[in-house]
Structure 1
Amino acid sequence: MNYQKKTVVASVAGLTLEGMDIMFISFAMSMIIAEFHIDLATGGLISSITNLGMLFGGMIFGILADKFGRVRVFTYTILLFAIGTALTGLATNIEQVYIFRFIAGLGAGGEYGIGMALVAEAWPKNKQGRASSYVSVGAQFGVILAALLSAILLPTWGWRGLFFVGIIPVIFAFIVRKNLDESPEWLTSKKGNHLVAKQGKLKQLFATRRTALTTIALAIMATVQIAGYNGLMIWLPSMLQQSQGLSVSSSALWTISTAVGMIAGMLTFGQFMDRLGMKRTYGLFLLASAVAVFLYSYASGSTGVLIGGAIVGFFSNGMFAGYGALISYYYPVEIRSTATNTIFNFGRALGGLSPILVGFILQHATVTIAMGYLAILYCISFMAMISLRKGQVKVKQETITSLTKAV
């Protein structure tokens, strides 16, 4: 297996395990609430704290990966979310659950951007879109794996047994460390100018006016991506149960249909990205998402709901496939991992609050208004996207000069 394929396999496996870890909470939530005698709001904080851990983990490990190497830090992030997941199964109160989920979030948040940076640095520009899409599908594999393990383990081992499975990624981390070489581009950068290669500071994301505008635009896009996904996947099943009279089993069928649409959308997006370019592909999918989401509020009948869900999933989550390549494109190797992790995990943390607003809208307005809100989000992301300029941003030269003088 060549190096390019190894980076994809390692990153796919990492994102699959991360997706599995995150979904364990969804499947185990009712049991955790019952055992610790907590209300729904207190239980909901588990996901919020996990997202907060992802934001901090993304920033910390992104910087470390730019300083000390992709593969080494990548394995550390896998170990951390494996340990955090396994410890969750030992929690004796909800406070301990919060702590252990924050630890797992730290590792999960660091893993995403480093894996994407590895892929971006291993594949040529004209194939980065499809390579990024292959990695992104791993998250959906994780959801499926979590569902299968939950069906098998929850009835017999309970929710604690489910989280003990989270120790398995430790084995994967060992395999990655043994078989995957460091990024050649990072090594070249380190040899060429070790001061730049080891810099990796958050302030570099705002070092110049153009860099700051690029960072803000990409953060808006990442936030909308997560907000749209969470708003749709958390609330749509219950919306459809009320508006269309769907049963729980029919809602599950809708979830599968939408997930299939998402996977197809990701794979298609990667191909389009390499052929049409990043901005054209994002423009097409963002506008299509806005239209599809809004029109979906008028869908009726089981066939229309299922087909419409697949179409919405195709466009709205198909774009997830491109963020690794998109963010990597705009930042040089010296700050690539820092940028990818920080920007996307900021989107995770802020966009993860979207279900609260969607729930508020549904409580006081109609489904059409809620879907209109999501459509507007995609339009905002479109405007942020067209503000992006071609070419990588530059590391601020005066910062490098000052470091040189200090040495």
Structure 2
Amino acid sequence: MNSLTDRTPVVRRRTPLNRSQIAGFWGAWAGWTLDGMDSFIYALVLTPALTELLPRSGYAATPANVGLAGSILFALFLVGWGLSFIWGPLADRFGRTKVLAGTIFTFAIFTGLAATSHNVWELAIYRFIAGVGIGGEWALAGTYVAESWPEDRRKMGAGYLQTGYYAGFFLAAALNYTIGVHYGWRAMFLTGAVPVVVAILVLLRVKETEKWQKAEAGTVRTKPLREIFGPTYRRRTWVACILLTIAIIGLWAGAVYEPSAVIQLATKAGMAKNDAIRTASLATGLLSISTILGCLALPPLAERFGRKKTLAFYFAGMAVAIVGSFGWAFYLPNGLAPFIAWLCVLGFFGGNFALFSLWLPEQFETRVRATAFAFCTSFGRFVGAGVNFLLGAAVLHMHTLGVPVALTALAFIVGLFVIPFAPETKGEVLPQ
């Protein structure tokens, strides 16, 4: 007969986090949150900023010109994001924390400077350089958390980290609901300078990861950009680039045009201008909350069903949600409420980005991890810049917002055929 102790279930305890790991996570999370806030501020203040700056630049502030200029400026911003691959090799050479602080400092300073713009050219320059900083933060924050957290907590840490970006969306919406409505678009850009404080704290308080220190001590100096395209990593690098490109196209097609779509639907429903702006802010808040839920749900799904099946589930959900919101609800006679309801579904499946924070670090060794993460995300942003420009031209040509955005769902269908070529890393430890 078994004794009572033999029948006692084994309680699995997670490895506790030390003070440095906790401080490092919150530093990375705060940077990612303020990154999301800064990047989404532009979508929220696009119309009022360009309405004021276009006449000063010699152009009439017609809806068509605002739409076209907005798309061009956002494409430049995405090109800046694309150039952020420069941060990856720097982080592999000089460490995660110093370069992470540098990315935060860059996007904070130039977002704040956007408030001083006298014409669209100055705004374009500031947003371009801010994009370089914003683009590097995700790669470095994701790399840092993956390397610093214990193996049994690393996967959930990726989900927690990714919530920061959408918490930033929520924060931007809250600021627009209060500061933006009362003090205008310049005040909104000024709030983007706040992350400078976070950059200083990251630099002073967060320790470098042990994995990077060990790799740095024992690694013969190589060229990481060349290595990720060598025979060992070439296939997984390109597959990751394609999948991230698809995710970025879907994120920005939905997120960037969501406030404009809600404002159009609210105005159509008879709301005054300020009430329509507030409704757009509330809708953005709901989008952010649902995306956070999607981020938190993803790591357990990825652990149970695998990385590839989980991404396929999220991609399929994105395709359906984009069509349902922009292709169907947007054109209903009273489409505001159905559109916002579909935004919640869109937001949940938009949490697919959490998978890349979990999955990409598992595919590359420490000596090239930050470079690979930064390059794959940057590649997608370059393509996203081109797609965004074409999307703006399509909106201008078709005189409608819904159909062009709805067509981006096709990218996720393509993604379902690409996913099988990616490596499955379920159950594997982070490579050293």
Shorter-chain TM-score category? Answer: 0.7 to 0.9
How many residues are treated as equivalent by the alignment? Answer: 387
- Residue in structure 2 matched with residue 18 of structure 1 by the alignment: 35
Q: Is the 8 A contact 1:7 1:115 kept in 2?
A: no
Measured in 2, the distance between the counterparts of 1:99 and 1:365 equals: 28
- Residue in structure 1 matched with residue 296 of structure 2 by the alignment: 267
- Counterpart check, 1:93 vs 2:119: yes
Measured in 1, the distance between the counterparts of 2:165 and 2:120 equals: 27
- Counterpart check, 1:203 vs 2:226: yes
Letter in 2 for 1:33: L
- Residue in structure 1 matched with residue 420 of structure 2 by the alignment: 386
- Counterpart check, 1:326 vs 2:352: no
What stretches of structure 1 of length at least 5 have no aligned partner? 396-407
- Counterpart check, 1:283 vs 2:312: yes
Give the 3-state SS of the residue equivalent to 1:89 in structure 2.
Answer: helix
What stretches of structure 2 of length at least 5 have no aligned partner? 1-17, 60-64
- Residue in structure 2 matched with residue 400 of structure 1 by the alignment: none
- Residue in structure 2 matched with residue 351 of structure 1 by the alignment: 384
How do residues 161-180 of structure 1 correspond to structure 2 at under 5 angstroms?
Answer: 161-180=187-206
- Residue in structure 2 matched with residue 213 of structure 1 by the alignment: 235
- Residue in structure 1 matched with residue 21 of structure 2 by the alignment: 4
Range with greater deviation from structure 2 (282-291 or 102-111): 282-291
Structure 1 length normalisation: TM-score? 0.83
How do residues 4-403 of structure 1 correspond to structure 2 at under 5 angstroms?
Answer: 4-36=21-53, 37=55, 38=59, 39-40=65-66, 41-56=68-83, 58-154=84-180, 157-193=183-219, 195-196=220-221, 199-208=222-231, 211-235=233-257, 248=276, 254-294=283-323, 297-298=327-328, 304-315=338-349, 317-358=350-391, 364=398, 373-390=407-424
Kindly state the Cα deviation for residue 251 of structure 1 after the two structures are TM-superposed: 5.8
Q: 1:169-208: per-residue Cα shift (whole Å, max 9, x none)?
A: 2221121122110011000111122x24xx3532222112
1:174–1:310 Cα change, 3 Å: same
Give the 3-state SS of the residue equivalent to 1:167 in structure 2.
Answer: coil
1:147–1:286 Cα change, 3 Å: closer
Measured in 2, the distance between the counterparts of 1:20 and 1:230 equals: 14
Q: 1:306-354: per-residue Cα shift (whole Å, max 9, x none)?
A: 4433223212x02011112211111111111111112112212322444
Letter in 2 for 1:375: A
Kindly state the Cα deviation for residue 138 of structure 1 after the two structures are TM-superposed: 1.0
1:200–1:178 Cα change, 3 Å: farther
1:258–1:205 Cα change, 3 Å: same
Identity %: 27
- Residue in structure 2 matched with residue 403 of structure 1 by the alignment: none
Measured in 1, the distance between the counterparts of 2:49 and 2:192 equals: 17
Kindly state the Cα deviation for residue 16 of structure 1 after the two structures are TM-superposed: 1.1
Range with greater deviation from structure 2 (59-68 or 4-13): 4-13
Going by fraction, where is helix more abundant, 1 or 2? 1
Q: Is the 8 A contact 2:321 2:343 kept in 1?
A: no
Range with greater deviation from structure 2 (143-152 or 180-189): 143-152
Kindly state the Cα deviation for residue 371 of structure 1 after the two structures are TM-superposed: 7.0
Measured in 2, the distance between the counterparts of 1:290 and 1:23 equals: 22
Letter in 2 for 1:20: M
Measured in 1, the distance between the counterparts of 2:22 and 2:142 equals: 13
Q: 1:18-54: per-residue Cα shift (whole Å, max 9, x none)?
A: 1121222223333432333144223433222221112
Letter in 2 for 1:161: A
Structure 2 length normalisation: TM-score? 0.79
